[in-house]
């Protein structure tokens, strides 16, 4: 498995989870947040346990040793690396703030 996974790839690996999150927050808001992070080139490095965008590192796991887990369960990449970023942007946009 590749160690760097884009937002689109992670969404393709977990379609049921993505559809559920999209339904919960609303399709328009969710799609706008995904578009925002796609333009920012949000990428997870599963080998290092980090999430990066065009401005640098966004988040990092401490004492990370889960790289092998994601090759067996690629659908866990969405909730572990991307869901928080996307849903946080949805929450910010709902309040009228920038994502």
Q: Enter the pTM of the model.
A: 0.90
* 3-state secondary structure labels for all residues of the chain: CCCEEEHHHHHHHCHHHHHHHHHHHCHHHHHHHHHHHHHCCCEEECCCCEEEECCEEEEECCCCCCHHHHHHCHHHHHHHHHHHHHHHHHHHHHCCCCC
pLDDT digits (tens, 9 = 90+) for 24-81: 999 999 999 999 999 999 999 998 889 999 998 888 887 788 888 888 999 999 999 9
């Amino acid at each position: 498995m590749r160690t760097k996974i884009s937002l689109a790839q992670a969404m393709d690996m977990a379609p049921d989870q993505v559809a559920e999150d999209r339904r919960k927050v609303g399709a328009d808001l969710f799609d706008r947040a995904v578009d925002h992070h796609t333009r920012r080139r949000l990428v997870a490095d599963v080998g290092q346990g980090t999430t990066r965008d065009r401005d640098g590192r966004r988040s990092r796991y401490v004492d990370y040793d889960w790289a092998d887990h994601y090759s067996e369960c690629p659908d866990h990449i969405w909730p572990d690396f991307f869901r928080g970023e996307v849903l946080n942007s949805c929450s910010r946009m709902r309040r009228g703030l920038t994502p």
